[in-house]
């Protein structure tokens, strides 16, 4: 037995040495882009592959097969992917994919590509060209079968327990729900690139889907309810809006305890409003644009819209976890609302579903939520969102560079009063019993626009829920304030104040 394991050890060393000597190194690949006009690239040629030193590089090809007619989509370099290791030919093994994809190692190995379904009994079986026997094969076949079997079992067990593929491929056939209408659904390949955020739900990856960057939110199987609820909210008729995060697909990967639930949406490089405010101040113009687009998105979410353009009616939706971290920013600082894992729909004639009281992020909970005194009606949940909207608007104003005072470091609501990790009891004492709110500084009130914005904020977080403004009213007010107040307030402060007095702001509304 000791001799057998010694022989196995020698084999392992030989295998490693042989692999390091014989590993195909990819430096250049054949390049092609069918969308070269719209993406402004070369149509064809060769591509020099670049990557991290400890990562392997590959070539790939993707194509369509329409009734026997082959249409090439793309060719080029591919990042480190264990599915491509030691493949000398570019061969697609899937039976009938929507987009064929293959990858391989060695320079220009993607010049030719083949479809070889992994099935027995098909009419046409394309066989890859025979491979030239290598020194590695000779060594393997010359050793004892028992040793080879032992090593294979050990390596297979180790790889099963430890491997975590650095990249995944979209497989929409695993989607347990109906497929939403989207031109990107079913396209391959998708590569996970880097983790952008972590939270109680799991993590968010930046990924690449063909030529587009997307966000992949990965839930553990324990959070299936949150994943399913967010998917259902996204698939509600009428949910496509410029200030609502664009949904692409939802998928299930793996089995049993290894199951991962994926939610694929558009990606925004700027990240969340929280991320932006931590590292940047905002001008008066930027503040108005952020606040107006954010309130427009929430107003649309809250709105009950009749059927149009062939879609069913869009019901009223309460977000229930509205906060600056769930507001994404486009490159032009347009706000986009996302994260609907706790959202609830109010459809006529149907129960609203799970409407537990104390849900969401503790810091942004309205007084009635903190004290467990919610009236479980549609308008009550919308007013809870509006309280949180007031806190997010306060975060924006606190980082505005237009006030007379020095802009301080970014702070979360109530961070100055009760710290970064308040308990439920802390918030109940401050928000419910003492009726405190984040401090509004005197310097903010010296700017005509910020002064009006602070008045709007106070009407959003009013202790009396029925006295709070609706999202539509907030959008209209901010739009009117932005039109009235010039960003250069120091030029003619008298005329600005006069125009504010002469032009009435929209009246206060409840969320009806």
Please tell me the distance from the alpha carbon of residue 506 to that of residue 455, in angstroms, as a whole number. Answer: 12
User: 352 φ, ψ to 5°?
Assistant: -75, -5
Q: How many CA atoms lie within 13 A of 412 on its CB side?
A: 16
Tokens 């009428």 -> residue:
238
Please tell me the distance from the alpha carbon of residue 32 to that of residue 426, in angstroms, as a whole number. Answer: 60
Please tell me the distance from the alpha carbon of residue 387 to that of residue 470, in angstroms, as a whole number. Answer: 10
The question of whether 462 is a catalytic residue gets the answer no
DSSP secondary structure code for residue 43 in this structure:
S
Catalytic residue among 321, 339, 379, 385: 321
Q: Is there a contact between 445 and 484 (Cβ–Cβ < 8 Å)?
A: no
260-266 and 316-318 as β-strands: parallel, antiparallel, unpaired? unpaired
Q: Is there a contact between 450 and 403 (Cβ–Cβ < 8 Å)?
A: yes
**Hey, how many other C-beta atoms are within 10 angstroms of the C-beta on 65?**
15
- Cα–Cα distance list, 341 to 38, 56, 201, 231, 360 (Å): 35, 37, 9, 8, 10
Please tell me the distance from the alpha carbon of residue 180 to that of residue 443, in angstroms, as a whole number. Answer: 49
| Residue of 119, 107, 395 whose CA lies nearest to 278 | 395
Strand-pairing partners, residue 206, are 194, 215
266: its two tokens: 């558009």
Please tell me the distance from the alpha carbon of residue 424 to that of residue 369, in angstroms, as a whole number. Answer: 11
| Residue of 508, 405, 493 whose CA lies nearest to 448 | 493
DSSP secondary structure code for residue 377 in this structure:
S
Please tell me the distance from the alpha carbon of residue 43 to that of residue 35, in angstroms, as a whole number. Answer: 8
**Catalytic residue positions?**
321
């Amino acid at each position: 037995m000791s001799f057998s394991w010694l022989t196995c050890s020698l084999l392992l060393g030989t295998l490693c040495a042989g692999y390091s000597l014989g590993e195909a190194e990819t430096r250049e690949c054949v390049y092609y882009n069918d969308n070269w006009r719209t993406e402004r690239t070369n149509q064809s040629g060769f591509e020099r592959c670049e990557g991290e030193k400890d990562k392997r590089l590959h070539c790939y090809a993707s194509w369509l097969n329409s009734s026997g007619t082959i249409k090439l989509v793309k060719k080029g370099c591919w990042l480190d992917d264990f599915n491509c290791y030691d493949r000398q030919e570019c061969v697609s093994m899937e039976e009938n994919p929507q987009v064929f994809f293959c990858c391989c190692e060695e320079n220009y190995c993607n010049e030719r590509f083949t479809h070889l379904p992994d099935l027995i009994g098909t009419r046409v079986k394309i066989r890859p060209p025979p491979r030239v026997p290598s020194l590695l094969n000779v060594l393997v076949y010359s050793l004892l079968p028992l040793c080879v079997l032992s090593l294979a079992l050990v390596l297979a067990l180790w790889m099963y327990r430890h491997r975590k593929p650095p990249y995944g491929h979209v497989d929409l056939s695993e989607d347990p729900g109906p497929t939403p209408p989207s031109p990107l659904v079913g396209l391959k390949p998708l590569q996970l690139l880097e983790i952008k955020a972590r939270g109680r739900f799991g993590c968010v990856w930046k990924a690449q889907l063909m030529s587009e960057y997307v966000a992949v939110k990965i839930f553990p199987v324990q959070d299936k309810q949150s994943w399913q609820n967010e998917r259902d909210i996204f698939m509600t008729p009428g949910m496509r809006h410029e200030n609502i995060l664009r949904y692409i697909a939802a998928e299930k990967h793996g089995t049993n305890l290894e199951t991962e639930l994926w939610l694929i949406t558009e990606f925004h490089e700027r990240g969340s409003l929280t991320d932006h405010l931590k590292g940047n101040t905002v001008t008066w113009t930027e503040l108005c644009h952020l606040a107006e687009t954010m309130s427009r998105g929430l107003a649309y979410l809250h709105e009950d819209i009749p059927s149009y353009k062939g879609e069913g009616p869009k019901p009223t939706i309460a977000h229930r976890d509205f906060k600056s971290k769930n507001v994404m920013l486009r490159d032009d600082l347009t706000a986009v609302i996302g994260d609907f894992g706790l959202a609830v729909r109010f459809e006529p004639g149907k129960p609203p579903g799970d409407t537990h009281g104390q849900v969401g992020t503790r810091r942004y909970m309205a007084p009635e939520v903190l004290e467990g005194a919610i009236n479980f009606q549609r308008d009550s949940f919308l007013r809870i969102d509006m309280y949180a909207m007031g806190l997010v608007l306060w975060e924006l104003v606190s980082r505005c560079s237009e006030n007379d005072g020095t802009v301080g470091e970014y702070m979360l609501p109530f961070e100055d009063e009760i710290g970064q990790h308040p308990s439920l009891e802390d918030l109940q004492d401050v928000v419910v019993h003492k009726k405190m709110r984040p401090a509004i500084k005197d310097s903010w009130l010296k700017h005509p626009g910020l002064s009006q914005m602070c008045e709007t904020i106070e009407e959003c977080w009013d202790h009396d829920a029925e006295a709070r403004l609706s999202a539509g009213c907030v959008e209209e007010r901010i739009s009117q304030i932005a039109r009235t107040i010039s960003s250069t307030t120091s030029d003619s402060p008298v005329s600005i104040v006069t125009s504010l007095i002469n032009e009435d702001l929209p009246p206060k509304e409840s969320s009806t």
